[in-house]
Amino acid sequence: MRLFYLALSYVLAPFVVLIIIWKGLTNRAYWERVEERFGFGRSRTERRAIWIHAVSVGEVMAASTMVGELLERYPHLPLVITTVTPTGARRVIDLFGDRVIHSYIPYDMPGAVRRFFDRFNPRLAVIMETELWPNLYNECGSRKVPLVLANARVSPRSVYRYRRFVGLFSETLSHGIVIAAQSQRDADRFRWIGAPPERTHVVGNIKFDLELPRDLIAKGREFREVHAQRRPVWIAASTHEGEEDEVIEAHRRIVETTPDALLILVPRHPERFQAVATMLSRRRISYVTRSSAGRCEPKTQVFLGDTLGELTMFYAAADVAFVGGSLVPVGGHNALEPAAMGLPILTGPYTFNAEDIAEMLQEAKAAFQIADAQELSQQVSALLSDPALRARCGQAGRQTVADNRGALARLLELLEPLLAEFPDA
């Protein structure tokens, strides 16, 4: 199985180049530092680095508190963060500046992986959530680099896909890997696809240990003062193609009963900002974009968040939050940020990327599941018209976050002895 994967990785190499070219047509950032995706690059470390991989923005945000702790505890060690997406790269730079080194992770081809390891010579590899890359993991095993899957999860859909390649993933998971699973269900699924039981731990979800910026609430109030004085505001966050249609239809229904309601619409991917703006224009919906620095007028129906790194501020400005990626089979995005801010939360039926969080919030009556535009409009309207209900839901969300903190401390307990294995070199 591994030999087949090795051969396949070389066969697919030309297609990788074509994918980069294609993605760069809509987002030129994919053409920047492209050599890093093949293991080359100017950045390197003389001392053995702590290496953290976070695919994109969501994983970077989940890792941010851990990164801060590692920088404080090990200030003498270089810390390298890799991402796949340019938006993830931008978030790393915004959060940590030159305190860390950012690089794009190499594609999972043997030569590219070896060159990456030569550049940074990691003493510890921490992969956020679930990224099962056989060549990369094999290189960790060959170089005896401790490898930790942090905040690890396997969705019900993915586990059956992995089982089809159980021979490959059993080998991948056998190289001294430590799995810090989000839940008992995730731990059981990892064991089922070949993870060693003695190195599979239930740590919890470090997303519950999020730290909100101290000035966040003030920024949210400032936004409302400028754009939505005395107007009810709801947000549709991290939406995907197919969801904006439902959201816009829901808002059309909402303004029939609440004419002054304002929707903050924030698409998940920046390459779709223009497409959503075009959609609003075609439907003759009055809107203002964040990038234009324009100000909402009383007739403005939609504020389009077409910038990066401001989602939490938009949450802080809202009364109700719909979390996207859940009305289409993407699996849902992080609902803990609006929960920590005390917002009532709505999601669609597809929440398999964070099923435990969705269940906790729904059981606590902090979140509600909707199926379509009609249900979305009904729930938003009900919440906007009932401040007491919003307050109860918001308090339930805050309490759920508070009750589940502590995963970060348990994760750091796993990392400390692995870092102590290496001399200070």
pLDDT in tens, 261-270: 999 999 999 8
Q: Is residue 193 part of a domain?
A: yes
pLDDT in tens, 148-170: 999 998 877 777 777 666 666 66
Q: How far is Cα 395 from Cα 144, in angstroms, rounded to an integer?
A: 47
Judge if 165 and 243 occupy the same domain.
no
320 — phi, psi (to 5°)? -140, 145
The crossing angle, in degrees rounded to 10, of helices 243-257 and 373-384 is: 40
Judge if 56 and 41 occupy the same domain.
yes
Contact 224, 347 (CB under 8 A): no
Q: Which residue has the tokens 């009932």?
A: 386
Residue 16 has a pLDDT of 76
Q: Chain-wide mean pLDDT for the chain? A: 91
Contact 262, 227 (CB under 8 A): yes
**Residue 125 clears pLDDT 80, i.e. is over it:** yes
Q: Is residue 222 part of a domain?
A: yes
* Cβ neighbours around 133 below 10 Å, total: 19
Judge if 367 and 300 occupy the same domain.
yes
Judge if 153 and 253 occupy the same domain.
no
- Write down the H helix ranges in 48-177: 57-73, 86-96, 110-120, 134-142, 156-164, 166-172
Token pair recorded at residue 240: 């995907």
Q: How far is Cα 10 from Cα 342, in angstroms, rounded to an integer?
A: 49
Q: Is residue 246 part of a domain?
A: yes
Average pLDDT on 238-247 reads 97
Contacts of 43 (CB under 8 A, 6+ apart): 101, 102, 103, 119
- In the chain, how many domains are there? 2
Average pLDDT on 236-240 reads 97
CATH code of the domain in which 134 resides: 3.40.50.11720
Q: CA separation (Å) from 167 to 134, 190, 191, 310? A: 11, 14, 13, 43
**Residue 4 clears pLDDT 70, i.e. is over it:** no
Catalytic residue numbers? 59
Judge if 200 and 339 occupy the same domain.
no
Residue 78 has a pLDDT of 97
**Residue 332 clears pLDDT 70, i.e. is over it:** yes
Q: How far is Cα 374 from Cα 381, in angstroms, rounded to an integer?
A: 11
Judge if 34 and 96 occupy the same domain.
yes
Looking at residue 51, the DSSP 8-state letter turns out to be: E
Judge if 174 and 33 occupy the same domain.
yes
Average pLDDT on 60-87 reads 95
* Cβ neighbours around 79 below 10 Å, total: 18
**Structural domain range at position 264:** 216-403
Residue 1 has a pLDDT of 61
Confidence of residue 176 (pLDDT cuts 50, 70, 90): confident
Q: Is residue 151 part of a domain?
A: yes
Radius of gyration of the chain (CA): 22
Judge if 186 and 140 occupy the same domain.
yes
Q: If we measure between CA atoms, which residue out of 269, 272, 274 comes closest to residue 289?
A: 274
Token pair recorded at residue 338: 């609006």
User: pTM of this prediction?
Assistant: 0.84
**Residue 286 clears pLDDT 60, i.e. is over it:** yes
Q: How far is Cα 333 from Cα 338, in angstroms, rounded to an integer?
A: 11
Q: How far is Cα 331 from Cα 182, in angstroms, rounded to an integer?
A: 16
Contact 49, 143 (CB under 8 A): no
Pairing of strands 302-304, 262-267: parallel
Q: Is residue 425 part of a domain?
A: no
Average pLDDT on 272-289 reads 96
Judge if 230 and 172 occupy the same domain.
no
Element (H, E) at 178: strand 177-181
Q: Is residue 211 part of a domain?
A: no
Q: CA separation (Å) from 322 to 241, 247, 287? A: 15, 9, 19
Judge if 399 and 411 occupy the same domain.
no
Indicate the residue type of 288: V
DSSP string, 197-254: GGGEEE---GGGG----TTHHHHHHHHHHHH-TT--EEEEEEE-TTHHHHHHHHHHHH
The crossing angle, in degrees rounded to 10, of helices 13-26 and 2-11 is: 50
Q: Is residue 209 part of a domain?
A: no
For residues 161 and 252, the model is more confident at: 252
Contacts of 366 (CB under 8 A, 6+ apart): 339, 344, 345, 393, 394, 396, 397, 400
Q: How far is Cα 268 from Cα 311, in angstroms, rounded to an integer?
A: 10
CATH code of the domain in which 271 resides: 3.40.50.2000
Residue 167 has a pLDDT of 65
For residue 418, the SS3 value is helix
Judge if 265 and 198 occupy the same domain.
no
Judge if 306 and 190 occupy the same domain.
no
Q: Is residue 65 part of a domain?
A: yes
